[in-house]
Amino acid sequence: MVEIWAGLVQATKLIIDLDTELLAIVFLSLKVSIAAVITAALIGIPLGAFLGMRPPVSVRWLEKLINTLMGLPPVVAGLVIYLLLSNKGPLGPMELLFTPMAMITAQTVLAIPIITGLTLVAVRDKHKEIKDTAVTLGASQQMVIWTIIREAKRAIMAAVVAGFGRVVAEVGAVMMVGGNIQGNTRVMTTAIVLETRKGNFQFALGLGIILLIIAFIINSLLYRIQGEVRNN
């Protein structure tokens, strides 16, 4: 108990002092996860919107697959990306393994199903109620599509935030494809694992607190967005 307390005090001090190593790890974490979520959004939003506007029966199997992948264990994603990027893998020559790029790729793979799946549901709901109204007002096909997406925008934003929440907190995939190399591919989650193992609790706790704060911010955002969705 005393040790936890001492650790917390030390951890707070590290955060307040803006410890350079700690900051570097936090920034890399955010950089990797934000890049992954942006990439995943660029793929997942159009894909989800496209599928959400199709008759549900015609996309049933794809939808099941996406829902399954939404729960994909990060280590499995890590394993697949590892195999693809390793020396003997098809993408080996690109020499991406154990680089931030590899971590971004793995997190992108994890975020795509979430963003696609949640966008699909949001767009499908709106499609039903908006389409006839837009059409009867004389909208062209493109304008109908655009209107539906715009009407689903809050739910789509929530999908992106949820995707970020998943990837920033995962450890398995980035550990496997990033390698947790100090100053290069060490992010918050992998650093926590390592420092804990070394018994360097105050550093691990400091990162843990920051991760919690980020999770809290993400959740507040989600609540706000979803509150607005419900109000409509």
Partner 1 sequence: MHLLLIHCCTEFKGRCVIINPFVYQLEDISKSYEGKKVLSVDKLDIEKGKIYGIIGPSGAGKSTLLRILNFLEPPSHGNLFFNGMTVTKAGKHVLDMRRKMTMVFQRPILFDTSVYNNVKYGLAARGYAKKDITKLTSNALDEVGLTEFTNRNARSLSGGEAQRIALARAMVLKPEVILLDEPTSNLDPANVAIVEKITKRLHEKQGTTVIMVTHNIFQAQRIAEEILFFFKGKLIERGSTDKIFNNPQDDRTGAFINGEMIY
Interface residue list for partner 1 (CB under 8 A)? 129-130, 132-140, 143, 147, 150-151, 154, 231-232
Closest CA to 97 of 111, 108, 84: 84
Region for residue 8 given its phi and psi (left: phi exceeds 0; alpha: psi -120 to 50; beta: otherwise): alpha
Helix (H) / strand (E) element for 219: namely helix 201-231
Cβ–Cβ under 8 Å, residues 115 and 160: yes
Q: Least separation, in Å, of the C-beta of 136 and partner 1?
A: 4
* CA distance readout (Å), 20 to 24, 62, 74: 6, 45, 29
Q: Which is nearer to partner 1, 151 or 170 (CB)?
A: 151
Q: Which is nearer to partner 1, 6 or 143 (CB)?
A: 143
Q: Least separation, in Å, of the C-beta of 133 and partner 1?
A: 4
Q: Which is nearer to partner 1, 87 or 231 (CB)?
A: 231
d(CA 21, CA 78): 25
The total of other beta-carbon atoms located within 10 Å of residue 219's CB is: 13
Q: Which is nearer to partner 1, 127 or 186 (CB)?
A: 127
Q: Which is nearer to partner 1, 20 or 141 (CB)?
A: 141
Q: Least separation, in Å, of the C-beta of 154 and partner 1?
A: 8
Q: Least separation, in Å, of the C-beta of 129 and partner 1?
A: 5
Q: Least separation, in Å, of the C-beta of 105 and partner 1?
A: 35
